[in-house]
Structure 1
Amino acid sequence: MTATSREIVEQMLRAGREMDADSFVELMAPDGYLEWPYRPPGVPARLQGRAEIHRHLTEAAGALIRFDEYRNVVVHETTDPEVVIVEYEAHGAVVPTGAPFQQMVIAVFRVRNGQILSYRDYINPLPLAEALASVAAATRART
């Protein structure tokens, strides 16, 4: 039996929280994309295709933020069976500094044939901008 769009999205959230880049990418369609419409400078607007997404997750994302848990997760199924909207609070730490990290997220997924075609991640960019600034300041202080 094929997994529902909701089940695929729940698997994607789990892979993201666990920083499991391989599982994350396997859930994406080969030409699927991950997009951040609101983001601080230095964060890509869009990653397209499995290779580009995997590279970003393993080289950049995992080195900056570690997610420990998602709280207050609300999954909204829509009248379009391909579209799932999720709201949640991401809690974790800024890896280089150990500082706590918290971010509100609304994500919109489009799932077809068991694969994610699009993942639009509407993050609050302020906590990420603060994390990037704190890492830059810590790096400057060490040199």
Structure 2
Amino acid sequence: MTATARDVVEQLLRASLEQDMETFVGLFAPDGFIEWPYRPDGVPGRVEGRDRVREFVIGQAGGLVKFEEYRDTVIHETTDPQVVIVEYEAYGTVIPTGAPMHQTIIAVLRIRDGLVVSYRDYLNPLVLAEVLASVGRG
């Protein structure tokens, strides 16, 4: 039986928190994408395809922030069984500086056949810009 959209989102969040990037990426369809509609300069608007998602999350994003806790996580199932909206507060550490980080996130995901086909990440771009500036990337 194929996992529900909610199940896939829960697995994705768990893999992200555990920094299990292979499981995270494995939950994406071969042509799935992550998109950041609001982002600071220097951050791609979209990373498309499982292989490119893997390169991005392991290469660029992997050494930037370690999330230790997600709080106030709410998963909203919609009238479309493929679409899930998740809200949460992410707490972690900026790896290069050791500074604490708190990010508010709302994400809209479309899941088809147990795999992520689209992940629109509406994170707070001001927090990300501050993190990037603190490590000389912004």
Deviations 1:99-139 (A, max 9, x none): 000000000000011111000000001111111111119xx
Q: Which aligned pairs between 1:1-143 and structure 2 lie closer than 5 A?
A: 1-136=1-136
Cα distance in 1 between the residues matched to 2:19 and 2:37: 21
Question: Is 56-65 or 71-80 further displaced after alignment?
Answer: 56-65
Q: Describe the SS at the equivalent of 1:108.
A: strand
* 1:22 alignment partner AA: E
CA drift at 1:63:
0.9
Determine the structure 2 residue equivalent to 1:141.
Answer: none
* 2:46 alignment partner AA: R
Q: Describe the SS at the equivalent of 1:56.
A: helix
Cα distance in 2 between the residues matched to 1:93 and 1:18: 14
Deviations 1:71-97 (A, max 9, x none): 000000000000000000000010000
| TM-score under structure 2 length normalisation | 0.96
The answer for unaligned runs of 5 or more in structure 2 is none
* 2:111 alignment partner AA: V
CA drift at 1:10:
0.5
| TM-score under structure 1 length normalisation | 0.93
Cα distance in 1 between the residues matched to 2:20 and 2:122: 21
CA drift at 1:19:
1.8
* Number of residue equivalences: 137
* 2:115 alignment partner AA: Q
Q: Describe the SS at the equivalent of 1:92.
A: strand
* 1:115 alignment partner AA: L
The answer for unaligned runs of 5 or more in structure 1 is 138-143
Cα distance in 1 between the residues matched to 2:63 and 2:25: 17
Identity level (%):
61
Q: Describe the SS at the equivalent of 1:51.
A: helix
CA drift at 1:20:
1.4
Q: Which one has a larger percent helix, Structure 1 or Structure 2?
A: 1
Cα distance in 2 between the residues matched to 1:107 and 1:27: 16
Cα distance in 1 between the residues matched to 2:43 and 2:65: 13
The structure that has the greater radius of gyration is: 1
